[in-house]
């Protein structure tokens, strides 16, 4: 392709420029538009399916729901997880605004798991604090956000430019404020300039920093399109970055670039073990300390490490599969099937991810205040790019909202764009076209990231980090010589320059912090101790006027929430300047070099670009109806139901299914009854699409009589998935009654009967629930036991038949339910006797029941259970003893458990 002239640039103008259309970017755009600003949203891919959120989200890690958690507790938790290096004012924004954001997302149609009474089903995954809120339809979050962006009132204020990739933020020569950006179209190669009143960076983490163990460039834990674009743009614009030495390292599935999902599996009874089946993690948060314990176990003779699921009952495994193989990673089931692995017979082997930079999952990012402002005026950062430790998805939404609201104050810049900055960005973009036969991007990027693994990944040393800096300096020239012939290759070449910038930041920052902190994230073998006296400081870096990378040690501000073990002193910052490298040119004492001989020196030739076609898959129509293309075009205009009706009634089931998908995406008035009507469609694919759409939209559909009638009719459809979806919607929208739900207890499908049980719980129909205690399916009886403990006024008597059930899982569930219903004398006797049951699930349930019994009967039995061979039983006993800790006998028993070989048992006992 030809290099476009600078003068031929397409110039765009806006009040607020949002760079990145993922989690934080979409929320920033929506909020800025709601505040009256003209918004331009630039996305190098397509907003409909860009960013990490488009890969699916199985839950919220930091939902501070009133009544379940307190903001101050969450702030303290994050402070401990980040070894005290925290600006608590930013973390507190997530803690205090997160619940309102959950409700805002819910109003858009994002579905969060709720119990039978409509309360948020927050789970306790860590040993302290209940913050995890599952999202059963998390795969659709991005679609819901895109639907909001395409609402008519938003389209009037938000202009979306897909396939446009900014490479530099423009700043005013007079006062340094952000005034726009420069980029190019990743499909056509066209040069683009933007003038703006404010700029919001929301480009995600630098996930493509280290090289995965697989060796695949794009096989990263994070979304591989996140190449550190925003980190580099912020740095070159003069903004401060902080915590760059605090890497992101995560546990993941061995040989698969996806998380092991302990957050999801833990509430179902899964946990991490070594090859002997022993729990070993003492740390209570996915932090660097936990990763250090994980890495040590993995490297010992107790490795490999597994996520243990094979002990779980069939219904739990099936539920996990439905979540993990659809919402979190659709390819996950295929991966396990290809290896012949099944969660029922195989635990999941775990490994450690490559290193990356991420504020949302560790602490490395652009420095922001509690309104998402960077140190450059009118430049904002939000999401994984911003340094708000362990901020996760809800934090990204919160800071996108804060950035959008604050940035909306500014009107578009009307001065001349700085010619020098525009020209430098133009050269960065198009230089690979000047030498198309230069080294190809994949080869250069592989070499760069291999150096990251060799010299920057922990454990770190000054010598290795200094070698890294030398390597990255040397590679600057190699990167400048990369060749490209297409706009797509230009995008990849620009990303390599961003990765190199981030790699140098990571190496120099790790050199500057001369201590170890955050466990595995910053483990310095040459400085192995944590030094709070000298290093309870943020480490900020910025680009100096001379172009060098310089550092400042900034004291942690006094906490808003006191945290034991950390006492920030405040005070002035310590300017460190440029970091000194460790001499690494020779081994040992330097000697005079040998004289140069007379032999001729050989020249290394540049790698040639491999010949041949690009190998891109050819497009194919597959014989699809042209009506689907019409429908897709129509859906972009957010049509009313009248325009969609002909497609919903089309004779081609593929068209009807696509119309149902469009209906779920645009949600016009009358969508609910129309979807309910399609539950009775003759085609299974259409029924499945309607059921999925109803589940996704159940929180935002108005529950009128027409919808209620349609859902009741669907209960007679001979498709179990439809009947389950109808029951779920009836329950969530409060459109059914006890008689209706009780009738479904006779359904032939166990899954439908389980939904009927949940629905009966929602209306506190204890008598009807009790009739299901004789259901032939074990999983239904387990649901009944749990349901009888979840009604508003639980009592133990309805559990009687389940306590004598022949199935051990049912007995265990019924015993565990006594912890909620109360465990009076007669039931306490049965629980004590059940501690001798052959099934560990029954013994664990019995221990849980005794938490609600009188101490005199419970404590001696629970003390004996601390010697049980099964760690889960011992854990249940410790948790039950905590309910009796006001007695001396319980405290004495707990004291014996603090040396238990199981990490969970030790930790919970230590809390007493």
Residue 255 Ramachandran class (φ > 0 left, ψ -120 to 50 alpha, else beta): left
Residue with tokens 């329950």: 731
Which residue has tokens 């009118």?
378
Distance CA 512, CA 210 (A): 20
Q: Measured between alpha carbons, how far is 400 from 380 in angstroms, rounded to an integer?
A: 9
> Residue 64: what pLDDT?
86
* Paired sense of beta strands 365-366 and 348-352, if any: unpaired
Q: Are 222 and 209 in contact (CB under 8 A)?
A: no
Whether residue 17 contacts residue 378, with contact meaning beta carbons closer than 8 Å, is answered with: no
Q: Given this model, what pLDDT does residue 648 score?
A: 93
What is the rounded distance in angstroms from the CA atom of residue 465 to the CA atom of residue 317?
A: 44
Question: Left, alpha or beta for 622 (phi > 0: left; psi -120 to 50: alpha)?
Answer: left
The pLDDT of residue 754: 96
- CA 519-524-527 angle, to 5 degrees, is 115
Residue 612 region, left (φ>0) first, then alpha (ψ -120 to 50), else beta? left
Long-range contacts of 642-646 (CB under 8 A, 24+ apart): 644/668, 644/674, 645/674
**Measured distance CA(530)–CA(269) in Å, rounded:** 35
The rounded average pLDDT for each run of 10 residues, N- to C-terminus, in the chain (912 residues) is 95 98 96 98 93 72 84 92 95 94 90 84 71 72 89 94 98 97 98 98 96 91 93 98 95 84 80 92 80 92 94 89 77 90 92 93 95 98 95 93 98 96 98 96 97 96 97 95 97 98 98 96 96 95 94 96 91 92 78 48 37 34 72 87 93 94 91 95 94 89 93 95 95 94 96 96 95 95 96 95 96 96 95 96 97 95 96 95 95 95 92 78
* H or E, element range at 740: helix 738-743
DSSP state of 15: E
Residue 2 in tokens: 């030809």
pLDDT at residue number 258: 78
Q: How far is CA 859 from CA 432, 561, 883, in A?
A: 74, 36, 10
Q: List the structure tokens of 356.
A: 């990356």
Asked if the peptide bond before residue 118 counts as cis, ω within 30 degrees of 0, the response is: no
Beta bridge partners of 19: 42, 201
Assign 3-state DSSP to the chain and report helix, strand, coil percentages, each to 5. 45, 10, 40
In angstroms, the CA 789 to CA 798 distance is 10
pLDDT value for 589: 65
Residues 6+ apart with CB under 8 A from 191: 4, 5, 6, 8, 9, 10, 182, 184, 426, 429
Q: Both tokens of residue 336?
A: 């396990």
**Alpha carbon distance 834, 348 (integer Å):** 32
* CB-count burial class (<10 Å; 0-12, 13-18, 19+) for 580: exposed
pLDDT digits (tens, 9 = 90+) for 631-683: 888 888 889 999 999 999 999 999 999 999 999 888 999 999 999 999 999 99
Q: Are 45 and 443 in contact (CB under 8 A)?
A: no
pLDDT in tens, 79-119: 998 999 999 999 999 999 999 999 999 899 888 888 888 88
**Residue with structure tokens 């300390």?**
289
Which tokens is 219 given? 């096989």
What pLDDT is recorded for position 527?
Answer: 97
Two structure tokens written together for 600 = 């001729």
pLDDT at 613: 33
Q: Which residues contact 847 (CB under 8 A, 6 or more apart)?
A: 831, 835, 862, 865, 873, 876, 877, 879, 880
This prediction's pTM: 0.85
């Amino acid at each position: 392709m030809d290099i476009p002239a600078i003068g031929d640039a397409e110039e765009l103008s806006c009040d607020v420029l949002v760079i990145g259309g993922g989690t934080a970017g979409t929320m920033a755009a929506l909020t800025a538009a709601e505040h009256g600003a003209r918004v331009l949203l630039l996305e190098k891919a397509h907003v409909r399916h860009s960013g990490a959120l488009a890969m699916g989200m199985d839950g919220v890690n930091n939902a501070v729901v009133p009544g379940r958690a307190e903001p101050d507790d969450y702030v303290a938790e994050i402070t401990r997880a980040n070894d005290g290096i925290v600006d608590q004012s930013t973390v507190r924004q997530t803690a205090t605004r997160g619940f309102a954001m959950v409700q805002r997302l819910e109003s858009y149609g994002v579905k969060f798991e709720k119990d039978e009474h409509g309360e948020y089903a927050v789970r306790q995954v860590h040993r302290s604090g209940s913050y995890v809120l599952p999202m059963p339809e998390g795969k659709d979050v991005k679609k819901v956000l895109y639907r909001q962006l395409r609402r008519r009132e938003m389209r009037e204020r938000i202009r979306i430019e897909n396939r446009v990739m900014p490479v530099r933020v423009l700043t005013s020569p007079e006062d340094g404020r952000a005034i726009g950006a420069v980029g190019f179209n990743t499909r056509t190669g066209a040069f683009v300039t933007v003038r703006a009143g404010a700029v919001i960076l929301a480009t995600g983490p630098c996930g493509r920093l280290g090289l995965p163990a697989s060796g695949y460039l794009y096989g990263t834990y994070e979304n591989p399109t996140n190449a550190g674009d925003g980190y580099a743009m912020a740095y070159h614009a003069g903004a401060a970055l902080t915590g760059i030495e605090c890497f992101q390292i995560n546990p993941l599935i061995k040989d698969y670039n996806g998380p092991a999902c302990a957050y999801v599996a833990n509430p179902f009874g899964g946990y991490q073990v070594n090859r002997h089946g022993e729990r070993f993690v003492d740390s209570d948060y996915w932090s660097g300390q936990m990763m250090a314990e994980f890495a040590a176990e993995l490297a010992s003779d107790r490795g490999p490490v597994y996520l243990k699921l094979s002990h779980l009952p069939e219904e739990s495994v099936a539920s996990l599969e439905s979540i993990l193989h659809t919402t979190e990673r659709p390819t996950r089931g295929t991966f396990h099937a290809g290896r012949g692995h099944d969660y029922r017979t195989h635990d999941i082997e775990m490994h450690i991810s490559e290193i990356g930079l991420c504020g949302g999952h560790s602490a490395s990012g652009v420095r922001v205040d509690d309104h998402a402002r960077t140190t450059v005026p009118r430049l904002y950062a939000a999401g994984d790019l911003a340094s708000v430790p362990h901020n996760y998805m809800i934090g990204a939404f919160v800071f996108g909202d804060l950035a959008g609201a604050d940035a909306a104050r500014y009107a578009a810049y009307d001065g001349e764009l700085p010619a020098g900055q525009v020209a430098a960005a133009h050269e960065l973009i198009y230089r690979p076209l000047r030498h198309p036969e230069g080294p190809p991007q994949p080869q250069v990027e592989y070499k760069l990231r291999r150096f990251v693994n060799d010299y920057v990944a922990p454990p770190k040393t000054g010598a290795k980090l200094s070698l890294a800096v030398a390597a990255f300096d040397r590679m600057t020239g190699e990167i400048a010589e990369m060749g490209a012939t297409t706009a797509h290759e230009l995008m990849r070449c620009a990303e390599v320059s961003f990765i190199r910038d981030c790699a140098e930041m990571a190496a120099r920052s790790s050199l500057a912090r001369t201590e170890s902190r955050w466990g595995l994230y910053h483990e310095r073998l040459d400085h192995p101790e944590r030094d709070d006296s000298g290093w309870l400081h943020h480490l900020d870096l910025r680009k100096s006027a001379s172009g060098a990378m310089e550092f400042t040690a900034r004291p942690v501000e006094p906490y808003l929430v006191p945290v034991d073990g950390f006492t920030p002193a405040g005070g002035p910052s310590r300017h460190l300047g440029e970091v000194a490298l460790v001499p690494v040119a020779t081994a040992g004492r330097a000697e005079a070099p040998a004289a140069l001989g007379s032999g001729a020196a050989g020249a290394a030739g540049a790698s040639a670009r491999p010949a041949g076609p690009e190998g891109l898959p050819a497009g194919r129509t597959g014989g699809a109806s042209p009506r689907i293309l019409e429908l897709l075009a129509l859906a972009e205009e957010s049509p009313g139901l009248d325009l969609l009706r002909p497609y919903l009634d089309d004779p081609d089931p593929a068209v009807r299914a696509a119309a149902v998908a469009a209906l779920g995406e645009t949600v016009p008035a009358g969508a609910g009854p129309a979807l309910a009507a399609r539950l009775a469609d003759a085609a299974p694919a259409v029924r499945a699409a309607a059921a999925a759409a109803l589940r996704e939209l159940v929180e935002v559909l108005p529950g009128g009589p027409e919808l209620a009638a349609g859902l009741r009719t669907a209960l007679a459809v001979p498709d179990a998935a439809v009947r389950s979806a109808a029951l779920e919607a009836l329950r969530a929208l409060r459109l059914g009654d006890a008689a209706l739900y009780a009738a479904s207890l006779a359904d032939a499908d166990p899954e439908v009967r389980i939904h009927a049980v949940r629905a009966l719980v929602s209306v506190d129909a204890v008598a009807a629930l009790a009739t299901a205690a004789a259901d032939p399916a074990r999983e239904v009886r387990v649901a009944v036991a749990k349901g009888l403990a979840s009604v508003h006024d639980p009592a133990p008597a309805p559990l009687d038949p389940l306590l004598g059930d022949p199935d051990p899982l049912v007995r265990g569930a019924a015993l565990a339910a006594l912890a909620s219903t109360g465990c009076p004398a007669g039931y306490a006797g049965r629980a004590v006797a059940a501690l001798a049951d052959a099934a560990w699930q029954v013994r664990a349930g019995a221990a849980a029941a005794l938490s609600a019994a009188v101490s005199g009967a419970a404590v001696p039995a629970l003390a004996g259970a601390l010697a049980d061979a099964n760690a889960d039983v011992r854990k249940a006993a410790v948790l039950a003893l905590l309910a009796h800790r006001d007695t001396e006998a319980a405290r004495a028993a707990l004291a014996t458990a603090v040396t238990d070989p199981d990490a969970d048992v030790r930790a919970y006992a230590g809390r007493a």
